Amino acid sequence: MLWQATANGLLLGGLYGIATIGFSMVWGVMGVINLAHTGFIMLGAYITYGLFRFAGLDPIASIPVSMAAMFALGYALQVLVLNRIIRTSLLLSLVVTFGIELVMVDAVSIAFTSDVRSVNSSYAASSIEVFGVLIPLVRLLAAGLSITLGIAFFAFLRFTRAGQMILATALDREVSSLMGINPERIYALTAGAGAALAGATGSLASMLFPVMPGMGMTFLSAVFVITVLGGIGSVEGCIVAGFIYGLVQAWAGYFLGANYQEIVGFGLFLLVLALRPQGLFGRAFFGEHA
């Protein structure tokens, strides 16, 4: 049973990692704590649900759709609202993004009611057995795709011009503007990319968890803890910390009982801040100083 719990934790850990990358990047690059991030996850899940239910599209095939839709939404919100807020006060971004989250959750509640929905693909029930540990196929797929997307985003940051511009802005905003980079455009790009990753998370989460308007909020504590544990703005940190968090959660559930998730998460959060406030892979990012 312990091995089963460990396997479950590791498989969920991949999803937790990808759920956090966008949030962590946005915080690292522009110093904004985006509470609407979990709303993007929820919208991604509903896009996958809608396409599955009404068009019969496979949940995995709908990932690009929810990523594209969330990129557009994240980009637009940054240009229309958040770039203006950043000019006045960074901490205001907390309130504003909370408001945006309220709007998204309530809009979905009205459109789809708050009933619990589910995405049951043809392979939802199949699983493989390794050394007596049962591994559901959808969880394996979700974990594998999460890591793939995480690596792809890492490569995007390192090896493309746009990615290099994002990193440059994160490291030093003033100098990057001297190099001819427009920070507000980079912020919009980062916000869009972060929202797109959240959308992908939602699509993957819809295969594992019930789809409902409040589902995004269940990721919030995980996202906080992993961001701080991995080091703000670090993609590789998010992925490693995601697995650690998944494992800790699974073991907490196994040894303590199912409902200790937030309490253990909060304990881990305090522990990291006390022992290693810069996180596992923390570096000097702009958001750090905000």
Partner 1 sequence: MSPPAAAPGARRRALLFWAFFALGALVLALAPLALNNYWLRVLTTVFMYATVTQGLNVIVGLTGYHAFGNAVFFGFGAYASGVAMTLGAPFPVALVAAVAFSALVAGIIGWPILRLRGHYFAIATVALNLAAIQLVIQVGGVTGGAEGLPLPLSDLPPGPLYRAIYLVMLAGMVVSTVLVAFILTRPFGYALRAIRDGERAAGVMGIDTTATKVAAWAISAGITGFAGGVWAYWITFIEPASAFDPAIGVKAYMMLILGGMGTVIGPVLGAFVLEFLATLVWGGFLQAHQIVFGLLIVVICLVAPNGMLVAGRSLIQRWRSRHGAA
Report the nearest approach of partner 1 to the CB of residue 20 (Å). 13
Q: Rule CB under 8 A: is residue 290 a binding residue for partner 1?
A: yes
Q: Does 280 bind partner 1 (CB under 8 A)?
A: no
Q: Report yes or no: 94 and 33 within 8 Å, Cβ to Cβ.
A: yes
Q: Verify binding: residue 263, partner 1, rule CB under 8 A.
A: yes
Q: How many helices (H) and strands (E) does the chain have?
A: 13, 2
The stretch among 65-73, 113-121, 177-185, 273-281 that binds partner 1 (CB under 8 A) is 273-281
The span of 41-49, 101-109, 124-132, 238-246 binding partner 1 (CB under 8 A) equals 101-109
- Give the integer Cα–Cα distance in Å for 231 and 279: 4
Helix (H, G, I), strand (E, B) or coil at 117: strand
| Window of 8-16, 43-51, 52-60, 261-269 that interacts with partner 1 by CB under 8 A | 261-269
Which residues are CB-contacts of 244 (< 8 A; sequence separation ≥ 6)? 13, 229
Phi, psi of 236 (to 5 degrees): -65, -35
Phi/psi region, residue 129 (left: phi>0; alpha: psi -120 to 50; beta: rest), is beta
With CB under 8 A as the rule, give the number of residues binding partner 1: 44
Q: Which of 60, 68, 92, 280 binds partner 1 (CB under 8 A)?
A: 92
| Burial zone of 112 (CB within 10 Å; 0-12 exposed, 13-18 middle, 19+ buried) | middle
Using CB under 8 A, pick the residue from 95, 116, 151, 175 that binds partner 1: 95
- Choosing from 14, 22, 233, 265, the residue that interacts with partner 1 (CB under 8 A) is 265
Q: Are 222 and 18 in contact (CB under 8 A)?
A: no
Site for partner 1 in 165-224 (CB under 8 A): 220-221, 224
* Residue in 94, 124, 133, 135 binding partner 1, rule: CB under 8 A: 94
- Within 8 A by CB and 6+ apart from 54, the residues are none
**Binding status of residue 116 toward partner 1 by CB under 8 A:** no
Interacting residues with partner 1 (CB under 8 A): 27, 31, 33, 81, 84-85, 88-92, 94-96, 98-103, 105-107, 109-110, 220-221, 224-225, 228, 259-263, 265-266, 269-270, 273-274, 277, 287, 290
